[in-house]
Structure 1
Amino acid sequence: MSMIQVTNLTFAYDGSYDTIFENVSFQLDTNWRLGFTGRNGRGKTTFLKLLLGQYEYSGSISASVDFDYFPYQIKDDTRLTSAIIEELCPEAEEWQVLRELSLLQVDETVLERSFNTLSNGEQCKVMLASMFLKENNFMLIDEPTNHLDAEGRASVSQYLKRKRGYILVSHDRAFLDDCVDHILSINKTNIEIQKGNFSSWWSNKQLQDQYELAENEKLKHDIKRLNEASKQTNHWSHEVEKTKNGSHNSGSKVDRGYVSHKAAKMMKRSKVLEKRQQNAIEEKSKLLKNVEASVPMKMTPLVYHKHQLVELNCVSIHYGEKQVTHDISFSIEQGDRIVITGKNGSGKSSLLKLIYGEPLSYSGTLQIASQLRMSYVSQQTAHLQGNLKDYARNEGLDEALFKSLLRKLDFSRDQFEKDMKHFSGGQKKKVLIAKSICEPAHLYIWDEPLNFIDVLSRMQIEEVLLDYEPTLLFVEHDRVFSDKIATKHVELDS
């Protein structure tokens, strides 16, 4: 057993006023299977790159292990997969390579294929196998699930469950639950480590948040009560002060000793109240610093005048001579939330694009209700650039509503002035989701909308969909999300 020791880590990007980490200290056991979670933009990938020594920082990071990062940058992906594995881990023997591929349910024939001919899922698994062939390395695995279908996620989670010594960045709750034994979370004001999987961490966080909210409410009442008591005491003190010189009208003589004693008691009581009030204010200031606001969002789905919106009958999509879907038949009716499932390469994205109106070649019958308004979220975010104000205007969005949604998804106001090309992958995906939620539509079509999006934002998106019940056609490999949202399933054959 060895430790990774982080001491007084402080880091900010050059030219940025935002400090990503400030005097952060903690230690990690290199035998742990760590799940790494936190809102988009909080610094998860940045922390991994600090471990790799890619940025200068103040403080110290000490470790007796080498760090290895997923995904690898493959310089020439036209080479054979076997040659790439040999370059990544030259000391590995063939039987070891075959063992790791077998554990990941990858056919050994991939070794004799060019790496660029492998599916995204196969490439992901080959790189993971290469990582774990190395000895005395601590693995930094950054969002592998974005490249995996449901079947791939299941096999990779079982593979990682057998391994030790890694930090896994993932926003897939079921995936984290299956393969981690500790959670490393970046909160608003600190980093914390907790034993257990994501579900146990989330349950504990909810209990802590509820306690702090209740304690905050109690202290608010205490402060108000103490403030009123203090005012009353000051009033009494003032009344006592008036009696020191006696009442001129009554002609009575004042017992100055009694008045002084009473005034002293009033002063002492006032000091006690003041101290209790100050203590309550100090206690209150310690609360709510890491409570994540889950502000409800609104959307405006439209009601179509007919029940059936789309019908497909024996639809097959073709790219040249290649047929990517085979005889698909189903209908979309108002209020349906349909998840499209199937292996990578089975044509899920192509099907969504066809229904949305992209000019794809197909056979069979596709009927779409006339004047149907659709809102589409693409897998791709590379086209996003420029500022949010111009983007909202160009897309015909209500700028105030659009930015309000992004604020609820944890965008800071500073983000509104930045060029979108500098956003993280999760922030770019949130732009597309917020745009779609803004758009009044009869049918929402979302293609893997949750890629790169943090867990808490996923929960907010779930809530708005369940609250407003739009008609939705979507592809998503997050099992928890699909189970909560989908009312129907359509599975494609590969």
Structure 2
Amino acid sequence: MSLINVTNLTFAYDGSYDNIFENVSFQIDTNWRLGFTGRNGRGKTTFFNLLLGKYEYTGNTSASVSFEYFPFHVVNKENITLDVISDIFPDYLHWKLMRELSLLEVSEDILYRPFDSLSYGEQTKVLLATLFLKENSFLLIDEPTNHLDINARKLVSDYLDTKSGFILVSHDRSFLDNCVDHIISINKTNIEIQKGNFSCWWENKKRQDSFELAENARLRKDINRLKDSAKRTSDWSYEVEKTKNGTTNSGSKLDKGYVGHKAAKMMKRSKSIENRQQSAIDEKSKLLKNIEHSDSLKISQITYHKNRLAELENVSIFYGDTMVCKDVSFTIEQGERIALIGKNGSGKTSIIKLICGEDINYTGIFRKGSQLKISHVSQDTSHLQGNLTDYAVNNEIDESLFKSILRKLDFSRVQFEKDMSAFSGGQKKKVLIAKSLCEKAHLHIWDEPLNFIDIISRMQIEELLLEYSPTLLFVEHDREFYKNIATKIFEL
């Protein structure tokens, strides 16, 4: 066992007035399996880069281990996979590599195929196996679940559960719950560490938030009561002081010493009330700083004139001579939320493209309602560039509603001035989802919409879909999400 100590870490990007981290201090045991959580843009990847020494910062970080970052950057993806592994880690032992690949259920033959011919899931598993060949290293694992199907996620999660000594960024709740024993969270004002998995941390956070909200309400009442009391006491003191030079109702002289003593006593009481009021205000100011505001969202789906929107009957899809899926049959009825699940490469995205009207080579029967309006969220965000205002205009959506939804999804106002090409992966996905929520459509089709999106935003989107019950066809590998949302599951 050894410790990683972070003391008074402060960092801001060049040209930025706001610190990403400010006087952050904590301690990590290198045997822990930490899940790393926080809203998009809070600085998870930035923190990894600070540990890796890529940026200058103030404060101190001490560790008796080196740090390794996943995913590795593969320069020559056309090389044989075994050569890619050798480039990353020249001194590896082959038997250890085979042991790790076996645990990840990867066959040996892929080592002799070009790396870029492997599926995303296979590439992820190969790079993870290479990562765990490194000894005396603390591992920084950044979103390994993207592009992994449901079965692969379970396999990788079980694999990580047998390991130790890492920080794992993932927004998949089931994945985290299965393989971590501590949570490190980037909050609005600090970084904190708790023992337990994500569900334990989330329950503790909800309890803490509820306590702070109740305490805030109590203190607000106390402050108002003390304000009124202080005003009354001050008024009484002033009135008593005014009588010092007067007479009583019977015409006799007042005892000025008594009156002065009474006035001083009232002033002292007034001061005591003010001190208590200030103490309550100071106590109140310590609350609510880390409460995440996740306002409800709205959707503008329109009703189609028929109950059935689309139907596939024994549909098989081909790319050239290759069949990607065979004899697919299902219907989309109004009000249904259909989860399309299956292994990577089983044809989920191809079916979505067919329904969205792309030119796809298929056999079988496909029917779609005439003048059916579809709002599509694709996996690809690489086309996003330019500012949000122009994007709203070009896509003919209401700019104020579009930006309001992004604000609710934790975009800061300063983000609105940036070029979208500089957004994080999660922020780009939120742009596509916000656009879709602004579009008046009969059917929403979302293809892996949650890649890179933080957990709290996922919960917001869940609440939206449950409240408004839009007709939705979606592909998503987050088990918790599709279990909570789907009214029907179609597995390829």
TM-score by length of 2: 0.98
CA contact (8 A) 1:69 1:139 kept: yes
Quote the offset at 1:85 in angstroms.
1.9
Quote the offset at 1:202 in angstroms.
0.5
State the Cα deviation string for residues 353-397 of structure 1 (Å, max 9, x = none). 110111111111111111111100010001000010111111111
| Cross-structure match for 1:460 | 460
CA contact (8 A) 2:310 2:369 kept: yes
Distance (whole Å) between structure 1 residues aligned to residue 36 and residue 139 of structure 2: 12
| Cross-structure match for 1:278 | 278
Matched, 1:111 2:111: yes
| Cross-structure match for 2:380 | 380
| Cross-structure match for 1:228 | 228
Distance (whole Å) between structure 2 residues aligned to residue 371 and residue 88 of structure 1: 53
| Cross-structure match for 1:255 | 255
Q: Which amino acid aligns with 1:453?
A: I
Matched, 1:328 2:328: yes
Q: Which amino acid aligns with 1:223?
A: I
| Cross-structure match for 2:153 | 153
Range with bigger deviation, 149-158 or 92-101: 92-101
Instruction: Name the SS for the 2:301 alignment partner.
Output: coil
Quote the offset at 1:248 in angstroms.
8.3
| Cross-structure match for 1:489 | 489
Quote the offset at 1:319 in angstroms.
1.1
CA contact (8 A) 2:238 2:263 kept: no
Q: Which amino acid aligns with 1:18?
A: D
| Cross-structure match for 1:399 | 399
Quote the offset at 1:134 in angstroms.
1.4
State the Cα deviation string for residues 163-201 of structure 1 (Å, max 9, x = none). 011110000000000000010100000000111100000
Quote the offset at 1:247 in angstroms.
4.3
Matched, 1:349 2:349: yes
Give structure 2 stretches of 5+ with no counterpart: none
Q: Which amino acid aligns with 2:31?
A: N
| Cross-structure match for 1:120 | 120
Range with bigger deviation, 245-254 or 142-151: 245-254
Range with bigger deviation, 351-360 or 481-490: 351-360
State the Cα deviation string for residues 245-298 of structure 1 (Å, max 9, x = none). 224876332122221221122011101100000000000000000000111111
The 5-angstrom pairing of residues 299-318 of structure 1 reads: 299-318=299-318
Quote the offset at 1:57 in angstroms.
1.3
| Cross-structure match for 2:7 | 7
| Cross-structure match for 2:475 | 475
CA contact (8 A) 2:387 2:416 kept: yes
Identity of aligned residues (%): 67
The 5-angstrom pairing of residues 68-107 of structure 1 reads: 68-107=68-107
CA contact (8 A) 1:71 1:127 kept: yes
| Cross-structure match for 1:49 | 49
Range with bigger deviation, 37-46 or 320-329: 320-329
Q: Which amino acid aligns with 2:347?
A: G
The 5-angstrom pairing of residues 98-247 of structure 1 reads: 98-247=98-247
CA contact (8 A) 2:248 2:254 kept: no
Distance (whole Å) between structure 2 residues aligned to residue 452 and residue 105 of structure 1: 25
Distance (whole Å) between structure 1 residues aligned to residue 160 and residue 46 of structure 2: 23
Distance (whole Å) between structure 2 residues aligned to residue 75 and residue 298 of structure 1: 43
| Cross-structure match for 2:451 | 451
CA contact (8 A) 1:246 1:252 kept: no
Range with bigger deviation, 168-177 or 241-250: 241-250
TM-score by length of 1: 0.98
Range with bigger deviation, 23-32 or 400-409: 23-32
Quote the offset at 1:90 in angstroms.
2.8
Distance (whole Å) between structure 2 residues aligned to residue 312 and residue 18 of structure 1: 52
Range with bigger deviation, 155-164 or 237-246: 237-246
State the Cα deviation string for residues 319-349 of structure 1 (Å, max 9, x = none). 1111111111000000100000010001111
State the Cα deviation string for residues 235-254 of structure 1 (Å, max 9, x = none). 21122122212248763321
Distance (whole Å) between structure 1 residues aligned to residue 52 and residue 231 of structure 2: 59
Q: 1:268 to 1:248 in 2, by over 3 A?
A: closer
Distance (whole Å) between structure 2 residues aligned to residue 418 and residue 17 of structure 1: 15
Give structure 1 stretches of 5+ with no counterpart: none
Distance (whole Å) between structure 2 residues aligned to residue 258 and residue 17 of structure 1: 59
CA contact (8 A) 2:3 2:30 kept: yes
Instruction: Name the SS for the 1:240 alignment partner.
Output: helix
**Alignment RMSD (CA, Å):** 1.1
Q: Which amino acid aligns with 1:154?
A: K
